[in-house]
Amino acid sequence: MSPIVKVESISKSFGATRVLEGVSFDVDKGSVVAIIGRSGSGKSTALRCIDRLETVNEGRIEVCGHDITSPKLDLQQLRRDVGIVFQSYNLFPHMTVEQNVTLAPRLVLKHKPAELRERAHHVLAQVDLSDKATAYPSQLSGGQQQRVAIARSLAMSPKLMLFDEVTSALDPELTGEVLRVMEKLAADGMTMILVTHEMAFARRVADEVIFMHRGKVWERGPAGMLDAPKTEELRHFVGSSL
């Protein structure tokens, strides 16, 4: 089976600041990869490069058969295949939950009203919010809003989901709500790359963990590596996260 994501020796600078340097890794279909590391280690930038929200200075990225570094990249098709969820929910406050979730399928996929309602019902059930279809974002908790953001991405039937620190703005109880949804998606076979500081979640769910340090892949392996770090840097990071 060929990887669904291939990151090959990518480097990225913002001005004179080198953020990524020679980063390489693969992600197989159906696997969950957790990217961890201190703030400024390059993990979120790497994730944004995978979705072409940032362009790389060197190297190559292939995602779901798309050459991300090609000038001929079909961005609209990439957005269909790759869903991304951020720390901020970015929901439209004047739209109901169902309207937020079905906006992209209506505009991009041209689904008919009956198809949109069926799709909304399906993805809201996936995130345990079937009873909130007619609610507005202001009527929801932060955890519920983040789950709507996940449902919005799922509505496009992506082949890959990216999560960028999606729980960092939530308190522990609401964090648990969101992580349970992500864990269920993983169990259902969704291919996922997540930037996270939730070490217990990474241990439990990730098939592979990538520890980034100073813009490089410093250490990578199965989740068990967090219990037996090979490098001093990962040992210190894990210790400070306890």
**DSSP tag of 42:** S
Tell whether 105 is covered by a domain: no
Which tokens belong to 94?
A: 């004047």
Give which of 114, 121, 128, 54 is closest to 84, Cα–Cα. Answer: 54
- Total domains, the chain: 1
Tell whether 140 is covered by a domain: no
**DSSP tag of 127:** T
Angle between helices 113-126 and 97-107 (to 10 degrees): 120
Pairing of strands 32-36, 208-213: parallel
Q: Which domain, by its residues, includes 169?
A: 5-91+160-241
> How far is 153 from 138, CA to CA, in rounded Å?
20
Amino acid 193: pLDDT? 97
Tell whether 212 is covered by a domain: yes
Residue 68 one-letter amino acid: I
Tell whether 70 is covered by a domain: yes
Residues in Cβ contact with 115 at an 8 Å cutoff, skipping those fewer than 6 apart: 105
The Cα-based distances of 229 to 80, 218, 235 in angstroms read 37, 11, 5
Neighbouring C-alpha atoms within 13 Å toward the C-beta of 44: 12
Q: Are 151 and 177 in contact (CB under 8 A)?
A: no
Altogether, the residues listed in the chain come to a count of 242
Tell whether 113 is covered by a domain: no
Q: Are 153 and 90 in contact (CB under 8 A)?
A: no
Q: Are 105 and 155 in contact (CB under 8 A)?
A: yes
Q: Are 48 and 54 in contact (CB under 8 A)?
A: yes
Strand locations in 124-226, DSSP E?
A: 160-164, 191-195, 208-213, 216-221
Per-residue pLDDT of the chain (242 residues; tens, 9 = 90+): 679 999 999 999 999 999 999 999 999 999 999 999 999 999 999 999 999 999 999 999 999 999 999 989 999 899 899 999 998 888 999 999 999 999 988 887 787 888 888 999 999 999 999 999 999 999 999 999 999 999 999 999 999 999 999 998 888 888 999 999 999 999 999 999 999 999 999 999 999 999 999 999 999 999 999 999 999 999 999 988 75
Q: What is the CATH number of the domain that holds 185?
A: 3.40.50.300
pTM given for the model: 0.93
